[in-house]
Structure 1
Amino acid sequence: MSTALTVNSYFNDKVKSIALDNKEGTSTVGVMAVGEYEFGTSQREYMTVVSGALMVKLPSSDSWKVFVKGDTFIVEANQSFQVNVKETTAYLCRYE
């Protein structure tokens, strides 16, 4: 297990996250500024909204769904999904 924290920045610093490894596995905790983003996965991701809200278009859907504080959605490995952020939002992403 690594004790170092890795800071990642995406989309011209509009999305930032800190990666961590612990007994629960690998996770990132981050913040998304207002904007529209598309993310790709290499592992299954469990995304939980910590503060704010995310409007998400999942790979298997043609429609958008809003996830608010406490909500979790899952994106399988090797997929992409779209996110529309209307207010600055914090999230936790756990990888499997």
Structure 2
Amino acid sequence: MIQENQYFDGNVKSLGYQTTEGKSTVGIINPGEYEFGTAQNEIMHIIEGRLSTMLANSKEWEIFEAGSNFEVPANSSFKVKTEVQTAYLCQYR
């Protein structure tokens, strides 16, 4: 089954699905700044666009371009910001 998700008044949308390795989502982030909480370990792959990220234990933004990824620990939070629509794949592992 495919699950539709919307966050921040529709500025972040994703489609969720289940694989043999676990849950994943693929989505789009509109320009803006957002903060997410995590329940599971998350691996974020940037498919297209550019995303700046600040993890909960960091004080600096790190930039991720298309083709790169970053990992967020379970039971944590992270901030993202972008100036362009950015496509991502998030794997919950």
Counterparts of 1:73 and 1:64, CA distance in 2: 12
Q: Does 1:65 align with 2:57?
A: no
- How many residues matched? 93
Instruction: Please tell me the residue identity of whatever aligns with 1:73.
Output: F
Q: What is the TM-score normalised by the length of structure 1? A: 0.94
What residue is the counterpart of 1:80 in the other structure? 77
The percent of aligned pairs where both chains have the same amino acid is 45
1:1-96 alignment to 2 at 5 Å?
4-96=1-93
Secondary structure at the aligned position of 1:13 is classed as coil
Following TM superposition, where does structure 1 have runs of at least 4 consecutive aligned residues deviating by more than 6 angstroms? none
Deviations 1:6-55 (A, max 9, x none): 00000000000000001232100000000110000000000010000100
Cα RMSD of the aligned pairs, angstroms, is 0.7
Structure 2 alignment gaps of length 5 or more: none
Q: What is the TM-score normalised by the length of structure 2? A: 0.97
Structure 1 alignment gaps of length 5 or more: none
